[in-house]
Amino acid sequence: MTIEKLSTNTVFGGEHIRFKHRSSTLACDMIFAVFLPSKAKTTPVPVLYWLSGLTCTDENFMQKAGAQQYAEKHGIAIVAPDTSPRGEDIANDPSYDLGQGAGFYVNATQPPWQAHYQMYSYVTEELPQLVEQHLPVSNKKAISGHSMGGHGALTIALKNKDMFTSISAFSPIVNPINCPWGQKAFTHYLGAHCGIWEAHDTCELMRACDNTLPCLIDQGLDDEFLKEQLLTERLTDIVKEKQLDVTIRMQPGYDHSYYFIASFIEEHVAFHAKYLAQ
């Protein structure tokens, strides 16, 4: 597997790099971004994978969240993939919540999506292999994300507990089988059988487990999507009932934007750093 460096910028003493590669999993060219702390010049560093939300690319988080300064402090690399396959010949939809920019981090089984929309395998297999082959990182990994990416981070980590040290999320879609965004995407990508959807639903995954990875979730109480799409209270009830190692913080005054993420990203990076260091 080969990668092409597209650009590089120095930031907070480390290096922000954008790469392009041909993905065999997604059957298209993909771009991902990496922040390498200065520590990576002398020793392999652990990685925090960041999954972004609907309409985003690799650039949103890296440009808006200010996470690099905290990753530099703790000696952690950040890897931010795109949110879906892209290209002229790749299936798409006019709406923002389906198709390109809206991969939902699942492996699609339905036409025309299944030919390219294999984001679950891309994030769990191809991308980590590529990163560990070409960059000065260790095999220690944590994962985080926002909105659709929060859904991806939570479900991927819960299904691969031996792969990650910890999980966190901002404003995640925690019960997609019961919200309009999730129902639309899952019907197109996975088919109409609701039983299949449960394997990609955080509430259902946590309801079925007796223990989880250390997990931190922040949700803004002024988030315009909270009541209809995110359904955080349903996960809160399950966590309390199961007594799981999950911290859910409801933050007054905060919305769904990157202002919210920038306000608490320092705490999320420190949270992961604790477990990546063990």
Out of 52, 84, 144, 147, pick the active-site residue.
147
Out of 84, 146, 223, 272, pick the active-site residue.
223
- pLDDT at site 117: 98
- pLDDT at site 194: 83
CB contact burial 28-52 (16+ within 10 A = b; e otherwise): bebbbbbbbbebbeeeebbbbbbbb
Closest CA to 261 of 93, 56, 88, 120: 56
Task: Show pLDDT as tens, one digit a residue, over the chain (278 residues).
Answer: 899 999 999 999 999 999 999 999 999 999 999 999 999 999 999 999 999 999 999 999 999 999 999 999 999 999 999 999 999 999 999 999 999 999 999 999 999 999 999 999 999 999 999 999 999 999 999 999 999 999 999 999 999 999 999 999 999 999 999 999 999 999 999 999 888 999 999 999 999 998 889 999 999 999 999 999 999 999 999 999 999 989 999 999 999 999 999 999 999 999 999 999 99
- pLDDT at site 210: 87
Q: Which domains does the chain have, with CATH numbers?
A: 4-276 (3.40.50.1820)
The Cα 57–Cα 119 span in angstroms is 14
Out of 188, 200, 256, 272, pick the active-site residue.
256
- pLDDT at site 257: 98
C-alpha dihedral sign at 156, 184, 170, 138: positive
Amino acid at 114: Q
Instruction: Answer yes or no: 223 catalytic.
Output: yes
Question: 206: which 2 tokens?
Answer: 């946590």
State the CB neighbour count (10 A cutoff) for residue 161: 13
- pLDDT at site 271: 98
Question: 35: which 2 tokens?
Answer: 């922040």
What is the C-alpha R_g of the chain? Answer: 17
Tell me the three-class secondary structure of the chain, residue by residue.
CCCEEEEEEEECCEEEEEEEEEECCCCEEEEEEEEECHHHHCCCEEEEEEECCCCCCCHHHHHHCCCHHHHHHHCCEEEEECCCCCCCCCCCCCCCCCECCECCCCECCCCCHHHCCEHHHHHHHHHHHHHHHHCCEEEEEEEEEECHHHHHHHHHHHHCCCCCCCEEEECCCCCHHHCHHHHHHHHHHHCCCHHHHHHHCHHHHHHCCCCCCCEEEEEECCCCCHHHHHCHHHHHHHHHHHCCCEEEEEECCCCCCHHHHHHHHHHHHHHHHHHHCC
- pLDDT at site 211: 86
The Cα 132–Cα 139 span in angstroms is 7
- pLDDT at site 174: 98
Instruction: Answer yes or no: 84 catalytic.
Output: no
pTM comes to 0.97
